[in-house]
Amino acid sequence: MSTLEIIAVLVNVLGVWLTARRIRWCWPVGVVAVLLYAWIFYDAKLYSDTLLQGIFAVLQGYGWWRWSQGGLSQGKVHVARLSLREGLLGLLCGALGAGLLGTLMVSFTDAAVPWLDAALTAFSLVASVWAARKYVASWWLWIVLDVVYVGLFLFKDLQLTAALYAGFVMLAIYGLRAWQRDLANQGSLKLNVS
């Protein structure tokens, strides 16, 4: 456990908490968090996750832009349902991305766990895009991914990061419930206005 890992954990907790609360400042905080973890994952030879952090930095800008586009109520974004078509397309993209990235990691790097790391990376991108698009379903995918990440980080002797991701599971459950409530409230507000 390093000082860098401690700082990265604290910044990540803040970012996920802000996301769960639907406060758009989660995105700039997220940029700092992903840059810190890019270094940590590179050192642990989790190269797919290192690449993921770089992509996350770009996605943080996309999320900030999407959440800044209307739909704000009392400083919070409105959430939406994920369509079956878009959900299946996202999962297909995740599977294809995992296969491609895993093949690259096996062929060209000394990655510690290339296939698992690649799969978690690809599906994390799907979950991030869904979160940026304000889909409640993003939390379900984050819960699954974070549970698997806990095991990976324990395997890689990153106990504090494993604890962080266990905390992410709890925050994702909180975010899921909060967003589901907000989606239901949005629906009842529309009915009252009609």
Contacts (Cβ under 8 Å, ≥6 apart) of 64: 24, 27, 28
Distance CA 49, CA 115 (A): 11
Mean pLDDT of the chain: 89
pLDDT of res. 72 = 59
- Residue 70, Cβ density class (10 Å: 0-12 exposed, 13-18 middle, ≥19 buried): exposed
Q: How many domains does the chain have?
A: 1
Q: Residue 53: is its pLDDT beyond 50?
A: yes
Domain extent at residue 69: 3-193
pLDDT of res. 63 = 83
Q: Residue 120: is its pLDDT beyond 80?
A: yes
pLDDT of res. 194 = 46
Q: Residue 130: is its pLDDT beyond 70?
A: yes
pLDDT of res. 170 = 93
- Position 188 confidence tier, pLDDT thresholds 50, 70, 90: low
pLDDT of res. 190 = 55
Q: What is the mean pLDDT of residues 130-152?
A: 95
Asked if 37 contacts 48 with a C-beta cutoff of 8 angstroms, the reply is no
pTM over 0.85: no
Long-range contact set of residues 166-171: C-beta below 8 Å, sequence gap at least 24:
167/13, 168/12, 168/16, 168/142, 169/143, 171/13, 171/16, 171/17, 171/20
Stronger pLDDT, 182 or 155, i.e. the higher one: 155
pLDDT of res. 193 = 44
Q: Which two tokens stand for residue 48?
A: 């797919």
